[in-house]
Amino acid sequence: MPELPEVEVVRAGLEPAVTGALIASVDVRDDRALTRHTGGAAHFEAELTGRRIRAAVRRGKFLWMPVADDEAVVTHLGMSGQMLLRAPGSPEERHERIRIELEHPLHGALSVVFADQRTFGSLALDALVATPDGAAAGRGSDLAKVPTQVAHIARDPLDPAFSDARFRARMAGTSSAVKRVLLDQTVASGIGNIYADESLWAARIHPETPGSALPTRAVNRLLGEVRAVLEKALAEGGTSFDAQYVNVNGQAGYFAHSLNAYGRTGQPCPRCGRPIVRVSFMNRSSHFCPRCQRLR
């Protein structure tokens, strides 16, 4: 599934194209793309038409576009969702589910296409509620309001309002594996399997180390590596192993070429040369170096 860097690349691409744009029309071509919307296709189309998009905002892996002080269109990319910018009247995209026609005061007419091969993603009109800490809800807006569907998601480590102290406290208070904590979106959002493995490799921490077993300096080091890995992935457009994870222009990221642990089973560790191993973890897999990341 796309993680923070992949979703941020999409948000950054949408931002200049949709901010301030008037929604001229909405065409729902597959009702399965509205599984999280309260109401059917006709309701979604009618409620959005004539609204003006105020921003493109992200928290962790979640993306939304406010269309009023109290409402926003929430985008769940799921496993294969794509938000694509296209010229008006362009041919239908493969796996196209929803098309939104916009009129931008500077850029003119354009189309936003939601395409989704596996149909696990969706769009939804959702209410906005105040953030508990009063800080901006996410990247892309100063508005301290978050969609109800995203309100339970923690801030991500790149968010200026992210609390390092709260993260350290959660880590110190659990016997769960450190990787499980990293993947818990109520602790820190936006980190998935790829970037958890890469961050733990960089911090020299075994993924199954109990959180409470990590000294404060190790937790601080891990947070620093999480941020470094996410920033590097952002600079390289995210990680793409196939044609599913693309930016708004359909282009893939190339962070896969910079991976040190994830997906490199049997290949030499870039640090010590020992083969990277792969083990089962939470219905997923963990990739790590048995020499550099010893379980203590």
197 within 8 A of 285, measured Cβ to Cβ = no
d(C-alpha 11, C-alpha 85), whole Å: 12
Count of positions (residues) in the chain:
296
Cα–chain center distance at 199: 16
**Nearest C-alpha neighbor of 126 from the set 152, 106, 146:** 146
Give the torsion sign (CA, 130, 132, 135, 140): negative
269 within 8 A of 289, measured Cβ to Cβ = yes
**Residues recognised as catalytic:** 2-3, 61, 284
Ligand-binding site membership of 118 (annotated): yes
Cα–chain center distance at 279: 25
Ligand-binding site membership of 152 (annotated): no
d(C-alpha 289, C-alpha 168), whole Å: 24
Annotated binding site for DNA: 95, 118
Annotated binding site: 95, 118
